[in-house]
Structure 1
Amino acid sequence: MLDTRHIGTVLSRHSAEVEAGRLRFFAKATGQTDARYTDKAAATAAGYPALPVPPTFLFCLEMEAPNPRATIDLLGIDIGSILHGEQSFQYHRMAFAGERLHFEVRIADIYEKKGGALGFVVRETKVTDGDGGAVADLRSVIVVRGKAREGK
Structure 2
Amino acid sequence: MPIDKVHIGRDTGTRTLLVDRGRLRLFAKATGQTDPVYTDLDAAKAAGHPDLPVPPTFFFAVSLETADPFTWLTDLGIDLTTVLHGEQEFHYHRLAHAGAELTATARITDVYDKRGGALEFLVTTTSITDHSGQLVAEAVGTTAIRRPAEVNA
Report what 1:15 is aligned to: 16
Report what 1:74 is aligned to: 75
- Cα contact 1:118–1:147 (8 A) shared by 2: no
Report what 1:91 is aligned to: 92
User: Distance in 2 between the 1:125 and 1:20 partners?
Assistant: 23
User: Distance in 1 between the 2:67 and 2:112 partners?
Assistant: 26
Shift of 1:73: 1.0
Show the 5 A alignment for 1:82-121: 82-121=83-122
- Taking only the aligned residue pairs, the percentage that are identical comes to 49
Residue type of the partner of 2:5? T
Q: Give deviations 1:82-135, integer Å, cap 9, x for gaps.
A: 222110000000110000011101111111122211101001100011111110
What runs of 5+ residues in structure 2 fail to find an aligned partner? none
Moved over 3 A (4+): none
Show the 5 A alignment for 1:49-68: 49-68=50-69
User: Distance in 1 between the 2:104 and 2:62 partners?
Assistant: 8
User: Distance in 2 between the 1:83 and 1:69 partners?
Assistant: 12
Number of equivalent positions: 149
User: Distance in 2 between the 1:100 and 1:2 partners?
Assistant: 34
User: Distance in 2 between the 1:62 and 1:21 partners?
Assistant: 18
What runs of 5+ residues in structure 1 fail to find an aligned partner? none
Q: 1:90 aligns to what SS in structure 2?
A: strand
User: Distance in 1 between the 2:103 and 2:21 partners?
Assistant: 17
- Cα contact 1:7–1:108 (8 A) shared by 2: yes
Report what 2:138 is aligned to: 137
Q: 1:21 aligns to what SS in structure 2?
A: helix
Shift of 1:67: 3.2
Report what 1:3 is aligned to: 4
Task: Compute the RMSD of aligned alpha carbons.
Answer: 1.7
